[in-house]
Structure 1
Amino acid sequence: MSLRPSFRLACRTLALRSRPVLPRQEALGWSLSKRRYANDSTTKPPANPLNHATGTTPAADVSQTQSKEAGASNRAEEKQVGLGEDFSVQSSTEDAIDQLEAALAGLSDKAKNRTASKAREQWDALAEEAAADKSGLTIEEAMGELERAAQGQGSGAGLEGGLTASQEEHLYREGSIPPTVSDGNAQRDLEVLASGGLLADAVEEQQVQVDSRGRTHKWPLPTLPLEPQNKLKARYHPVLDQLTNVLMRHGKKSVAQRNMAMILNFLRTSPPPILSKKYPLLPGHPPASHLPLNPVLYLTLAIDSVAPLVRINYIKGGAGGGRALEVPKPLMVRQRRRTAFQWILDVVSKKRSSGSGRTQLAHRIANEIIAVAEGRSSVWEKRQAIHKLGTATRANINKKPVRAH
């Protein structure tokens, strides 16, 4: 063994020896397979260790080398001294390893005892709470309450869990979030108003409904007129189906569907958006932390918030003198969404490409949708310009265009 490794091991041993000696404990399972000696009084190394080169003791080696030449005896003694030093350094290192294993075993025992004590304290606290409970709830009823709370069927599901199922359906169908019905809790009503939502008074439902002929009905009557095709179920989501058709190019709908799936996946894995006060989303929207949990709602909210309410029709020569007459016209829900998504695609196509591959377009569109939700997109300025022009030309709605003679 060379001098440099022996010197390094000796320094490490001295650094470990400066610490207090730990009590002897059972070694860990991943320790050395062959344990030779430890730092205790029970086991000690033999007085005369064997010489690995000759298989005899050092004393026998010295007696044999006395009859040889002086140069040969000196070389043998130097070799024997070096082997003894290496053996002492190796035994000291093993002692230090044993102490470290014992320390780790002690730490693991302390951690187990601490965990057991915490579990015992929690169990005692639950037992005291159960003894003081006088509500009379059984275990089955308590489990049912927990399941209903986990599914979001509680009284505050509309506020804490985002939008209710009826509100989401109204958003997808009408493009707006209906107001939250008040349940009589003033604090909850203030929280709804503070979050930018709308509040509606509670309407007491009539238990027995009577029609125009005076007949009573056990079940509530449907609202007339009936919705068209209310019994049909579409295969895909209506908003996703429309946006996929807008995204499609050259009739390749499978490619558009794949890009739409990657857009939703990117929105789902993105962090919650930082909402803007200058360009807010629709009133009554759920908190920003809920949006990545429902990427379809995320996409619909961003597009419906930036969608224009009107468009400008230009009647050629209607203003007289060859000038076009600008007439604002309101848009339906599907027209608003189509216009907004076309604006987003135009902005994406004008931006510089970053990266390559089939995921490039989907990631760029998803980034632009996130920018719309955070108020950083230029689509908001285009929407403001359209609304400003529609407000300025609202007097032309009832104006008759000038006919050319």
Structure 2
Amino acid sequence: MDAPGRARREARIATFVGLASLASAMGIGRFAFTPLFPLMQDSAGITLAQASWIASANYLGYLVGAVASYVAAVKAPLAARWGLVVVAASTLLTAFADTVARWVVLRLVAGAASAFVLIGASAWALALLARSQRLRWSGWVFAGVGVGICLAGLTALVVASVGASARWAWVGLGVLAAAVAALGWRAFATMDAAVRPARPRGLGALDAASWTLILCYGIFGFGYILPATFIPAVARAIVADPRVFAWAWPLFGFAAAVSTIAVSHLARHAKPGAAAGCSFIVMALGVFLPAVGTGLGTLCLSAICVGGSFMVATMACLQQAQRVAGDASGGLIAAMTAAFALGQAVGPLTVTAAAPLREAIARPSAVAAALLLVAGIALLWCEGRTARK
């Protein structure tokens, strides 16, 4: 096979494996609990307060994983390989856990593993696509998050529709995660992306552009997590039929997958800083909607706005990190991911269990929307200042 043919094949494998890895890590390791929470309310009697702690444990695990990846300077393929294995194992074990404490521990472990996969798989895939001059395919890689969310949501929908318990959904998702781990094992082991490990350089080594990204990415984590945690549960409070409320999460995932692909093709010449700023503003609208509206239509619009912007924001911010830090982007991405994880770990804990769910998320949603709006404007201002130089 000639050099162009090898490059094309390498890019296709990187895109597919990257997509599948992010689908497993994020759709299952990170967000599986979101569509399964309403089912676990019915089958296990989980309360809103318990759900908040389970969700926050997962997000705290994500923070631990991001920091560990940064400090340990794990090579990207190695982080992705073993992270996928741990996501699969922890998801399968969750199916057989029967106490809140065990769910908290297992979701914390899954969150940590998902951070390793996101950092490792995205750095690996982007480096291979850049080497083959097909970085425009990155939208397909990040569409994996939306694909995973959609699959997790559809799994919950099927399980709820047949009247089965949430345990079977966890089993199905665990088997799917195991299949992805097996799929990616060889690719990560044999395809060298020449990604430099994230090595701790000290906070003083970060310039103003890096700090802006880190701060805005942390606000992003806090801002989007409320709808990303509670949309299916709020939908259930509006319409009790699982054949209706369970569609909220697949809609969120579908919007995430389509938006990343569409933006990567239609706005390929847009600066990543500008794309991130615009997506933050759209996300702010989606986060604000549940604070002022209580209908199912408002909730669906929120799912479309947040789902359709949060992966565009992720993709654009990670591309901006590569633009700012170059070959050393792994370290900046790890620092950004840590800030993001800290923000999203705090988010669910701002929801009080003393009020009905729709009322409990109203004030935190308004605050989150305001912060996202400010961060979006800041990113646009920084991009404009860069363009004028």
Please give the range of the TM-score, normalised by the shorter of the 2 chains: under 0.3
Higher helix residue share = 2
* TM-score, normalised with respect to structure 2: 0.23
**Greater Cα radius of gyration, structure 1 or 2:** 1
Q: Which has the higher strand share?
A: 1
